[in-house]
Amino acid sequence: MTNIIDLSTLRNLTNDDPSMMKELVEIMLTYTPTQLDDILKLINEKNTEDLANSVYKIRSNIENWVSGETKSLANDIEVRLRGGATMDDVLPKVITLEKKCREAIIELQRQYGDVTGASTY
């Protein structure tokens, strides 16, 4: 998994403190899978307004540990949805975002261990 995660922001945020980094990773690994499940539910419901809100939550959560490409993808989806895009307009991007986030979770678990017992799926 090349360049799916980028911990430089997290390192800067925590002054490279390993225990603080682990604590923040634990929080991310606890909440992100549930947020991703919510996104999939909203896709099935074709609820673009709530999807925009969920993508915002995901974007806020992942900004400290995913690559710039993934952050940009989340931002693009949110902007498009808030601008009136239909589900069909954003569906491929949302699926890509969900996949990239799941891959990042797996990579974080590989690096830090499964610190929460959270499932990736």
CATH number of 8-112: 1.20.120
**pLDDT tens across 17-46, in order?**
989 988 888 888 888 999 999 999 999 999
Q: What is the mean pLDDT of residues 49-75?
A: 91
66: β partners: 5
pLDDT at 22: 87
pTM of the model: 0.84
Q: What are the structural domain ranges in the chain?
A: 8-112
Euclidean distance between CA atoms 119 and 107, whole angstroms: 13
Q: What confidence score (pLDDT) does residue 115 get?
A: 55
Q: Alpha-carbon distance 77 to 50, whole Å?
A: 13
| Number of Cα atoms under 13 Å in the Cβ half of residue 19 | 0
Smallest Cα–Cα separation from 38: which of 49, 26, 51? 51
